[in-house]
Structure 1
Amino acid sequence: MKSRLLPALGGAVVVGTLALTGCSSSADAAQDDRTIRFATLPVSDDPNAETPVEEIAALLAEETGYEVEITDVPNYSAVIEAIRSGHEDIGIMSAFPTAMGVNTGEVDPLVAWSGDDSPVARCVVLADSPIRTLEDISPEDTVAFADPASSSGYFMPVYMLDRAGLTQDEDYEVLFSGGHDRSQLALKSGQVDVTCTAAMFTDMAGQGSPYFPFEAGETRVIGESPAMPVSLAVLGNQKMSEDKRAALLEALPVVFSAANADALGTYGEALPEGVEPMIEPGPETFQTLVDIAAVAGVDISDLE
């Protein structure tokens, strides 16, 4: 992991100066309490999309008056663990990892945004496939999913298929391809009969994207998943100071807003238009996500 420190705007004390004067442990603690430490990782399904952490840190520093330390982490589990252990104050997460974190009972959802009405995932077949609807899928057919930890590449599609009366490994065979792009290659080569992937990728037909390497008209959509009940959330360390928590609760809805959409990049794209943030939502907000994950055979209701 790598960390960077961005001073709060408006004349914050420089950390290096304190070190030169031989600061005490109490001074270290005071300085730490004036620093918002947040863990980031991409929230987009597109792995080529860059996360604008410097821009977000600058906005957060300006809005709170705190210094902001950014830590880039490799995966959702690392974010949750860093917040649980107190190494980080906040982490910005997509829906299912947020539900996992909340259900530990050891991190708090500070702010969350519900999803819009758009489908999260779509299942597609080749244009000449005899499969016309989800109900046409048979036990002899193989369905490709990106990864067992993927919201759009597994959780939501399996939920979609379940609602159509189809149970994995009974009513269809499962293949985990290892990535959205690999699922499409498997469909293109005839290794699988159906692929379920992020809805955004199916809109890329004819654009030469490796995440949907088909021309318009080469594939057909046979099913769409429901919308995501939660699109994005900020998890917080339960042991942060009350002053820091209050500053974050006031600043986060301002920073993560339509007014900053360009600066927020992938985070801005993940925020649904016209949706007001939920401040300190309760665990019930995430129960639907727990239920959806359970359909996929993943119990996140009592994560240890």
Structure 2
Amino acid sequence: MACETTRTLRCGLLPGESRTVVERMHAPVRAYLERRLGMRISFVVGRSYVATGEALRRGELDLAYLGPVTYVLQSRAAALEPCVRPCHAGAAGPTFRAALIVPAGSTAETIADLRGVEIALGDLVSTSASWVPRHMLLEAGLTQDRDYVRRHLGTHDAVAEAVARRSAEAGALSLTVLERLLAEGRIEAGAIRVLAVSAPIPEYMWTFRAGLPEALRDAVREAFVDLRDPEALAVYRAVSFIPAVDADVDRMRGWMEAILQARLRPAAGGTAALVKPDSAAPILPYAHNVRALAAGRRPLEC
């Protein structure tokens, strides 16, 4: 279905890796959409996850490929509409996983063994390199900023590199990204070890901004659902795209709420927060951010 050729469809991407890598990986997708929709496609890699989400919320982007956490936070303050999400072969379906990794020589055998260490994480609002690992640690009895220290490095590849160099005692990132980094030789296989893998996480969603014309929304959704180009599908390791709805990320909402509530509870016995000298781990104002986003204000760090 062809659309207007006089306009550009502005598509946002999260900076899970460097801008160059993200743009290169999505080139086949842009080529497919331009052929299918008959219009120019502009991919914009945000300077952070929050920046991409806010650009969509403000209408500066027409759609964006958002992780569950970014979508949940931004949809509190805008009528965003899920479009589609990738579906993978086999039992994975429309899900992916996060991995907690340690240097190959680490003595840690379980997640509980990470008590008292500094853990490298990705962007502050990354689903698989920040929020899901925090929930994994919480389920193992470790509360952030009391039982371990966070060091946010921004991107998945930076986390893997820090652990491989042993400049971080542990780290967390997307299992899919880790497998690609290992396959490409960007991380030496013998340098790291996977300590634990998360439960299935709801996949990223291509998401429309509020007010995008219905005809254009329908055309974009159909283009993704009809996508059969192997090179474009390979960007997502997908076999197809399926329509997405808001309820698809309810599991992530539950995990986020558990993290928030655990952090707001006083430590048992008045235990002080764990802080290492010169740590870059922030004390983050979650409650403020929830209220700010609901009111349409810019959040602080998440």
Same fold (TM over 0.5): yes
Matched, 1:74 2:37: no
In 1, the alpha carbon distance for the partners of 2:174 and 2:26 equals: 24
Match of 1:111 among 84, 87, 93: 84
* C-alpha displacement of 1:277: 0.5
Q: Could you list the per-position Cα deviations for residues 47-81 of structure 1 after superposition, in whole angstroms to 9, with x for gaps in the alignment?
A: 634346664344334434x5234252424444444
Match of 2:251 among 277, 285, 288: 288
Matched, 1:269 2:235: yes
In 2, the alpha carbon distance for the partners of 1:36 and 1:197 equals: 33
Letter in 2 for 1:278: P
Match of 1:59 among 20, 28, 32: 32
Match of 1:248 among 216, 220, 234: 220
Match of 1:101 among 45, 54, 74: 74
SS at 2:215 equivalent: helix
Mapping of 1:127-138 within 5 angstroms? 127-138=104-115
Letter in 2 for 1:157: P
Mapping of 1:86-165 within 5 angstroms? 86-113=59-86, 116=92, 120-139=97-116, 141-165=117-141
Match of 2:209 among 233, 237, 242: 237
SS at 1:104 equivalent: coil
In 2, the alpha carbon distance for the partners of 1:171 and 1:41 equals: 33
Question: Unmatched 5+ residue regions in structure 2?
Answer: 261-285, 297-302
SS at 2:119 equivalent: strand
Matched, 1:278 2:243: yes
Tell me the residue number matched to 1:175: 151
TM-score, normalised with respect to structure 2: 0.68
Q: How many residues align?
A: 260
% identical equivalent positions: 19
In 1, the alpha carbon distance for the partners of 2:165 and 2:53 equals: 38
CA RMSD of aligned residues (A): 3.6
Matched, 1:260 2:260: no
SS at 2:200 equivalent: coil
Larger radius of gyration: 1
SS at 1:277 equivalent: strand
CA contact (8 A) 1:144 1:177 kept: yes
SS at 1:50 equivalent: helix
Distance 1:87 1:189, change over 3 A: closer
* C-alpha displacement of 1:163: 1.9
Question: Unmatched 5+ residue regions in structure 1?
Answer: 1-7, 13-30
